[in-house]
């Protein structure tokens, strides 16, 4: 294998990492020890809101800044842990007063406003279930999720309500209350002013006993076909959030942390709300969408030390001809983690060159609830690799047998399906109203991820592609990610998306859709150059035979290239569920 590994000199790191000896930590790790890091509810059980906010507000961190909110128009607001305790208690009391209780699904549809984050904690305090939606969803995806999720209440803004929700009310008889964040007065008994309700609510709230297995968050995830799936998570998931904050994000008390993900995506709740606050860390939230100057300015002005973002954002930054460390003071920044889809090796190297530190990739899914595999701060990085499993997580590569069983692959470098041994605390507990689909996710003592990968001799995992993305061409199995990563090594290529296009002679031919960096033009000469570049690097069997230039690749809001949408458009087929498509 190519040995372009990045070694770490721990003496050069500004803070000693929480995880120093990976092997020793895995050998000694127990989930029982994680329980000792959490308080537990005074009334009994385990509740995310208590562990993330109230226990800090009741102790020496009461006056520490919990949330720094940056408004789209330049506003800046700060909330301490004590503030967050009071405001979330008010919202929990609003819910209780209106008759919402344990298990009721409370949906949120909002841009990244402070009220969204306050409500998230308040919902969990009330033992109701937070169900976040992307604010850019259209009416149909919103209706699907509200109906499938048995929505009892919705928190949103006046503009989003008028544009996207009001026309749906007749189809949602179970939706009892709509909370409008920015309405000054109630519109009706159903459509209420959050401001007015919060003004009259008590600012103290005792969280009732909460079973660790009580449902906490319901996230919807889209498949390639069919309706969105409701993924059920429970309060005990915070065990995983705690260890991933400790080992992967390497959170320390002095950190300023920024996760760029929207809570409409599971990263935006697990790592944009819960994990930093579990560790008592200051959390930056920016309402605005991606803008390179704004992002670099935020890193500088808020003195961000730990940054969690997505490959699509990194690739956008790579497209710019800039020298960020010369144009901005990024000296506090000590760790960058990336999630959403595999991080191309070129992006890891770009981080070394332009940001003076590597970008660490990690792997997990909505179903896993938290990070499962990662490149750790103290450990060697192998660009293009997901890294190694967290302590407490058992991962493997499996092959499907003809009789429907699976067998673990023990030989290094052999491709198969990435699988996990069930039982980690943040493992999803079901697909809402779809027990049959849930049961099919587990075979032979493994959770099957649907991702194809292989493991090297040292236990590092390498992504190959989604099982339904693999291209079969002239008897070869081609993973799109390998082709995309190779094309990105060409100086003209900012992003690439690769599909298999039906061909009567070879089954499928490899076709690449390419967006270019600034300063390059889409010419026939460049097309031929890229095809030749691919053949030289990959060989004629694997290299793309067709290249189409495209200004922007279709991506989900979490940054994943939608290869199946590229393929549907290429073949003139129905596009399927595009509710998570990035604008």
Domain harbouring 194, CATH code: 3.40.50.12780
Can you tell me the mean pLDDT for 403-429?
95
Residue 40 lies in a domain: no
Quick one: tokens of 162? 């008028």
For residues 250 and 329, state if they share a domain. Answer: yes
Distance CA 544, CA 498 (A): 8
For residues 424 and 533, state if they share a domain. Answer: no
Last residue of a domain, one of 400, 424, 455: 455
Distance CA 412, CA 230 (A): 35
The rounded mean pLDDT for the chain is 92
For residues 439 and 534, state if they share a domain. Answer: no
Residue 29 lies in a domain: no
Distance CA 446, CA 420 (A): 5
For residues 424 and 499, state if they share a domain. Answer: no
In 6-109, beta strands by DSSP E = 65-70, 76-80, 105-109
In 404-503, beta strands by DSSP E = 406-409, 416-420, 430-431, 442-443, 446-455, 461-466, 471-473, 476-478, 493-503
Q: Which residues pair with 221 in a beta bridge?
A: 229
Question: Taking a C-beta distance cutoff of 8 angstroms, is the pair 454, 413 a contact?
Answer: yes
In this prediction, residue 404 has a pLDDT band, given cuts at 50, 70 and 90, of confident
- pLDDT over 70, % of the chain: 94
In this prediction, residue 537 has a pLDDT band, given cuts at 50, 70 and 90, of confident
Instruction: Give per-residue pLDDT as tens, 108-122.
Output: 999 999 999 999 999
> CB 24: neighbour CB atoms within 10 A?
11
Please name the residue that has the structure tokens 């109230």.
Answer: 54
Residue 22 lies in a domain: no
Last residue of a domain, one of 431, 455, 479: 455
Last residue of a domain, one of 413, 431, 455: 455
Residue 206 pLDDT greater than 80, yes or no: yes
Angle at 17 between CA 12 and CA 18, to 5 degrees: 170
Predicted pLDDT of residue 389: 98
- By three-state DSSP, how is residue 259 classified? strand
Quick one: tokens of 386? 């997901």
> CB 264: neighbour CB atoms within 10 A?
25
Residue 352 lies in a domain: yes
Question: Taking a C-beta distance cutoff of 8 angstroms, is the pair 432, 439 a contact?
Answer: no
Residue 583 lies in a domain: no
Alpha helices in 154-258 (DSSP H): 158-160, 194-199, 238-247
In 353-405, beta strands by DSSP E = 359-363, 373-374, 385-389, 395-400
For residues 276 and 350, state if they share a domain. Answer: yes
In this prediction, residue 224 has a pLDDT band, given cuts at 50, 70 and 90, of very low
Which residue range forms the structural domain that includes residue 557? 469-571
Please name the residue that has the structure tokens 């039982």.
Answer: 423
Can you tell me the mean pLDDT for 142-161?
95
Residue 229 lies in a domain: yes
For residues 482 and 538, state if they share a domain. Answer: yes
Question: Taking a C-beta distance cutoff of 8 angstroms, is the pair 144, 228 a contact?
Answer: yes
Predicted pLDDT of residue 226: 54
Instruction: Give per-residue pLDDT as tens, 436-473.
Output: 999 999 999 999 998 989 999 999 999 887 776 777 67
Angle at 368 between CA 56 and CA 271, to 5 degrees: 35
Q: How far is CA 539 from CA 85, 208, 266, 483, 536, in A?
A: 59, 63, 38, 11, 6
CA-CA-CA-CA dihedral for 29, 30, 34, 40, to nearest 10: -170
For residues 197 and 289, state if they share a domain. Answer: yes
Distance CA 112, CA 288 (A): 8
Residue 174 lies in a domain: yes
Residue 124 pLDDT greater than 50, yes or no: yes
CATH number of the structural domain spanning residue 482: 3.30.300.30
In this prediction, residue 576 has a pLDDT band, given cuts at 50, 70 and 90, of low
CA-CA-CA-CA dihedral for 141, 142, 145, 151, to nearest 10: -170
Instruction: Give per-residue pLDDT as tens, 48-69.
Output: 999 999 999 999 999 999 999 9
For residues 205 and 244, state if they share a domain. Answer: yes
List strands edge to edge, sheet with 177-180.
Answer: 191-193, 177-180, 151-156, 105-109, 129-133, 215-221, 229-234, 430-431
For residues 448 and 483, state if they share a domain. Answer: no
Residue 18 lies in a domain: no
Residue 155: CA count within 13 A, CB half-sphere: 30
Whole-structure pTM value: 0.84
Q: Of 199, 182, 203, give the one whose Cα is nearest residue 90.
A: 203
Q: Of 400, 383, 392, give the one whose Cα is nearest residue 450.
A: 400
Distance CA 537, CA 541 (A): 11
Quick one: tokens of 231? 């993924």
Q: Which helix (H) or strand (E) holds 575?
A: none
Predicted pLDDT of residue 560: 75
Predicted pLDDT of residue 179: 98
Please name the residue that has the structure tokens 């995806």.
Answer: 141
For residues 450 and 479, state if they share a domain. Answer: no
Number of domains in the chain: 2
In this prediction, residue 1 has a pLDDT band, given cuts at 50, 70 and 90, of very low
Predicted pLDDT of residue 139: 84
CA-CA-CA-CA dihedral for 17, 20, 26, 28, to nearest 10: -100
For residues 476 and 435, state if they share a domain. Answer: no
Residue 476 pLDDT greater than 80, yes or no: no
Residue 577 pLDDT greater than 60, yes or no: no
Q: How far is CA 135 from CA 138, 212, 289, 557, in A?
A: 8, 30, 12, 11
End-to-end CA distance of the chain: 38
For residues 475 and 554, state if they share a domain. Answer: yes
């Amino acid at each position: 294998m190519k040995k372009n590994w990045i070694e770490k000199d721990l003496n050069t790191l500004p803070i000693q990492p929480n995880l120093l000896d990976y092997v020793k930590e895995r050998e000694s790790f127990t989930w029982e020890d994680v329980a000792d890091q959490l308080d537990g509810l005074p009334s009994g059980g385990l509740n995310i809101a208590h562990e993330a906010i109230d226990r800090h507000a009741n102790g020496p961190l009461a006056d520490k800044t919990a949330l720094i909110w940056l408004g789209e128009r330049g506003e800046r607001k700060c909330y301490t842990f004590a503030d967050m305790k009071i405001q979330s208690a008010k919202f929990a009391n609003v819910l209780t007063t209106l008759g919402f209780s344990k298990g009721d699904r409370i949906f949120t549809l909002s841009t990244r406003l402070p009220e969204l984050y306050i409500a998230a904690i308040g919902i969990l305090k009330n033992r109701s279930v937070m169900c976040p939606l992307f604010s850019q969803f259209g009416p149909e995806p919103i209706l699907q999720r509200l109906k499938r999720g048995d929505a009892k209440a919705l928190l949103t803004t006046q503009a989003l309500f008028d544009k996207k929700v009001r026309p749906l009310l007749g189809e949602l008889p179970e939706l009892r209350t709509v909370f409008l964040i920015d309405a000054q007065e109630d519109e009706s008994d159903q459509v209420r002013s959050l401001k007015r309700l919060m003004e009259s609510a008590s600012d103290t709230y005792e969280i009732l006993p909460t079973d660790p297995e009580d449902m906490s968050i319901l996230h919807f995830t889209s498949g390639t076909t069919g309706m969105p799936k409701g993924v059920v998570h429970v309060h005990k998931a915070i065990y995983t959030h705690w260890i991933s904050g400790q080992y992967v994000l390497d959170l320390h008390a002095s950190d300023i942390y920024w996760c760029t993900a929207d809570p409409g995506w599971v990263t935006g709740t697990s790592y944009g709300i819960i994990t930093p606050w579990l560790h008592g860390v200051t959390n930056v939230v920016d309402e605005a969408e991606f803008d390179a100057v704004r992002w670099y300015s935020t890193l500088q002005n808020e003195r961000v030390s730990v940054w969690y973002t997505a490959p699509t954002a990194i690739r956008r930054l790579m497209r710019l001809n800039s020298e960020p460390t010369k144009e901005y003071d990024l000296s506090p920044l000590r760790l960058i983690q990336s999630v959403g889809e595999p991080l191309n090796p070129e992006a890891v190297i770009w981080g070394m060159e332009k940001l003076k530190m590597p970008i660490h990739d990690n792997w997990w899914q909505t179903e896993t609830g938290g990070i499962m595999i990662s490149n750790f701060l103290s450990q060697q990085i192998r660009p293009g690799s997901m890294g190694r499993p967290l302590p407490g997580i058992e991962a493997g590569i499996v092959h499907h047998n003809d009789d429907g069983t699976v067998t673990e692959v023990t030989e290094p470098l052999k491709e198969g399906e990435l699988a996990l041994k069930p039982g980690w605390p943040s493992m999803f507990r079901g697909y809402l109203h779809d027990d049959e689909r849930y049961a099919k996710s587990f075979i032979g003592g493994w959770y099957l991820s649907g991702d194809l990968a292989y493991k090297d001799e040292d236990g590092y995992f390498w992504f190959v592609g989604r099982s339904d993305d693999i291209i079969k061409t002239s008897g070869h199995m081609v993973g799109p990610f390998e082709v995309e990563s190779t094309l990105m090594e060409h100086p003209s290529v900012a992003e690439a998306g690769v599909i298999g296009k039906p061909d009567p002679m070879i089954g499928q031919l490899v076709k690449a859709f390419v967006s270019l960096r600034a300063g390059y033009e889409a010419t026939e000469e460049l097309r031929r150059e890229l095809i030749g570049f691919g053949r030289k690097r990959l060989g004629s069997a694997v290299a793309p035979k067709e290249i189409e230039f495209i200004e922007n690749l279709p991506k989900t809001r979490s940054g994943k290239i939608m290869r199946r949408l590229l393929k549907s458009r290429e073949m003139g087929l129905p596009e399927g569920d595009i509710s998570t498509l990035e604008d």
